[in-house]
Structure 1
Amino acid sequence: MRIGVTVPNFGPEATVGSLRAWAALAEDAGYDFLMVGDHVAATADVTAAYPGPFWEPLTLLGYLAGVTRRVELGTTVLVVPYRDPLLTARSLAGIDRLSDGRLIVGVGIGWAREEFAALGLDPARRGALTDAHLETVLAHWADDVLPHAGHVVDTRPRPHRRPHPPVWVGGNGAPARSRAVRFGQAWHPLHPPAGWLRREGLPALRAAATAAGRPVPALAPRIALDPGDDHLPDDDRLTGQGHPDQIRADLDDLRGLGATHVLLDTARGGGGHEQQRALLTDAARWVG
């Protein structure tokens, strides 16, 4: 089971120096991958949760590909409807090439209604748009030359990884699980409650795969990393919250459930970037 970290690519502390420090931490502390979030139009609903400035993730991953050598690089999650699918396919393929095949493509449908409006998109259609765009992205990764909008398009360079970088579908609900079965190599649930994956999430994923007649995607959750001095009741905590013993037990449980990757998110615990990096440096000694 591979362990990764989120890189907070937003807020006043998200300077070039801080982002480089996060990348160095991931490499030096022995983490396996790092991931960044996505917003394009920083409307009020976005900045209420993620204060600016917000670094555009594909630009940032191209930069981080050049200052890292070992860790995989990904999105948690790229909001698929926000970008033209041909541009998305080419941008991601370029990052995968420039990083020698270290890209992980976490995708989602988005949630910020004002942001959708600012981009001229109907949020009610975000699921359908995501599916259509993913079909286009995957098609452009599969061939060197393809028809696109009535023209013949050279899609090269194609991704380094074949057939393409792993696609993780984010979201906890039934549509996300169905989309993971249809398009993804992994399901990427976000901040699941303690015990929920074993009780509900994974049985529902297996049922969706059976109904579709397709393989069950791998499990690659994003969990909180929010340790404290006290043991918390499981009914009141997220996976990754509570006493370090509880967090270690959560990771053991995820390993037993067959998780291939686990992404640690320090934002739930609060604190500035230096405090969060210190937490990850300390956690590297007991989460592996």
Structure 2
Amino acid sequence: MRIGITVPNFGPAATADSLRAWAAVVEDAGFDFLMVGDHVAATPDVTAAYPGPFWEPLTLLGYLAGVTRRVELGTTVLVVPYRDPLLTARSLAGLDQLSDGRLIVGVGVGWATDEFAALGLDPQRRGEVTDEYLRALLALWSDDVVSFHGRWVAFTDVDSRPRPRRRPHPPVWVGGNGAAARRRAVALGQAWHPLRVPVGWLRATGLPGLRAAAEEAGRPAPALAPRVVLHPTAEWRPDDDRLLGEGRPDQIRADLDELRALGATHVLLDTHRDAVTAARDDHDAQRALVEDAAGWLA
């Protein structure tokens, strides 16, 4: 099971120097991958959770690819309806090529109503648009010259080169906790990427739902690659009142053991707590927490 870290690409402390330091900590501490979040328009519903400035993830990952050598790089999650799939496919393929095949494409439908409005998009259509855009992405990565004709996007004889280095394409992780996300992961993804879930939820609800979706579709269940919090505490936390990855270090280690037993191939650890915490200039403290965790998680 591979373990990664979210790099906070938002907030006043997220400077170029800080982001470079984050990449170095993740790589030097022995973690396997890093991921960054996505917002395009920092509207009030976005900044209420993730204060600005917010770094655009594909630009940032291109930079981080150049200052790292080993770790995989990804999005948690790229909001698919926000970008034309022709541009998205080309940007991601370029990232995968320039990082020597280290890209992981975490995707989702988005949630910020004000942000959809700022981009002139209908949030009520985000699920169906996401499905079609993902199919277009996969088509563009499948051949050198591609045509695609759908309801939301259509193009003819587009030269899609350079295609991704990793074949047939970088792994696609479908984010989201609901039934629609599980169905989308079965149909279009290599992994299901549930986000910040309570203790016991995956075993009791999430994975049975994923298996049911796979059985209904007549397809194999995708891999499990969850994002869980990294919130160590000095005191023991009761399981009925905590998220996976929250509590004493021994509780967090036990959570990772359970995820390994459930078949998780990757686990992403997320240090983000809330907007107030993110607005503080405490990235040095957060990186120290990650370095410390690398020791007691080993």
TM bucket normalised to smaller: over 0.9
Are 1:90 and 2:95 matched, yes or no?
Answer: no
Partner of 1:125: 125
Is the Cα–Cα contact under 8 Å of residues 20 and 64 in structure 1 kept in the other structure?
yes
C-alpha contact 1:181 1:217 (8 A) present in aligned 2: yes
Range with greater deviation from structure 2 (251-260 or 149-158): 149-158
Shift of 1:243: 1.0
| Structure 1 counterpart SS, 2:220 | coil
Alignment partners' CA distance in 1, 2:237 and 2:147: 55
| Residue 22 of structure 1 pairs with residue 22 of structure 2 | yes
Question: What stretches of structure 1 of length at least 5 have no aligned partner?
Answer: none
- The reply to whether residue 173 of structure 1 matches residue 178 of structure 2 is yes
Q: Which runs of 5+ in 2 are unaligned?
A: 149-153
- What secondary structure sits across from 1:262 in the alignment? strand
What is the distance in 2 between the residues matched to 1:16 and 1:223?
26
Tell me the equivalent position of 1:145: 145
Matched residue SS, 2:4: strand
What CA distance in whole angstroms lies between the structure 2 residues aligned with 1:2 and 1:80? 25
Q: What is the letter of the counterpart of residue 286 of structure 1?
A: W
Question: Aligned equivalents of 1:172 and 1:150: distance in 2?
Answer: 32
Q: Give the match for residue 206 of structure 2.
A: 201
> 1:285 is paired with a residue of what secondary structure?
helix
| Residues 1:213 and 2:248 are matched in the alignment | no
Q: Of 250, 257, 261, which residue of structure 1 is paired with 2:255?
A: 250
Q: What is the TM-score normalised by the length of structure 1?
A: 0.98
Which moves more between the two structures, 226-235 or 134-143? Answer: 226-235
2:291 is paired with a residue of what secondary structure?
A: helix
Relative contact order higher in (CA < 8 Å, ≥ 6 apart): 2
Shift of 1:200: 1.0
Aligned equivalents of 1:248 and 1:137: distance in 2? 37
Mean Cα deviation higher: 277-286 or 148-157: 148-157
SS of residue matched to 2:105: strand
1:204: Cα distance to partner?
A: 0.8
Q: 2:283 — aligned with what?
A: 273
Q: Distance in 2 between matches of 1:48 and 1:229?
A: 28
- Name the SS for the 2:52 alignment partner: coil
Q: 1 CA distance for matches of 2:249 and 2:22? A: 22
1:284 corresponds to 2:294: yes
Instruction: Check conservation: 1:23, 1:34, Cα contact below 8 A.
Output: yes
Q: CA deviation at 1:120?
A: 0.5
AA in 1 matched with 2:170 = P
Instruction: Measure the CA separation in 1 of the matches of 2:85 and 2:249.
Output: 42
Cα distance between partner residues in 2 of 1:59 and 1:150: 25
Q: Answer yes or no: is the 8 Å Cα contact 1:225–1:268 preserved in 2.
A: no
For these two proteins, the number of residue pairs brought into alignment is: 288
Query: Does the residue aligned with 1:168 lie in a helix, a strand or coil?
Result: strand
Displacement after TM superposition at 1:151 (Å): 3.7
Which residue matches 1:134? 134
Give aligned-pair identity as a percent: 76
Distance 2:18 2:133 in 1: 33
- Spell out structure 1 runs of 4+ moving beyond 4 A: none
Structure 2 CA distance, aligned partners of 1:17 and 1:262? Answer: 26
Partners of 2:296 and 2:224 lie apart in 1 by 21
For residue 150 of structure 1, report the CA deviation from its aligned partner: 4.8
Equivalent residue number for residue 43 of structure 2: 43
- 1:274 is displaced (CA, Å) by 1.1
Could you say what the CA RMSD is over the residues aligned between the two structures, in angstroms? 1.0
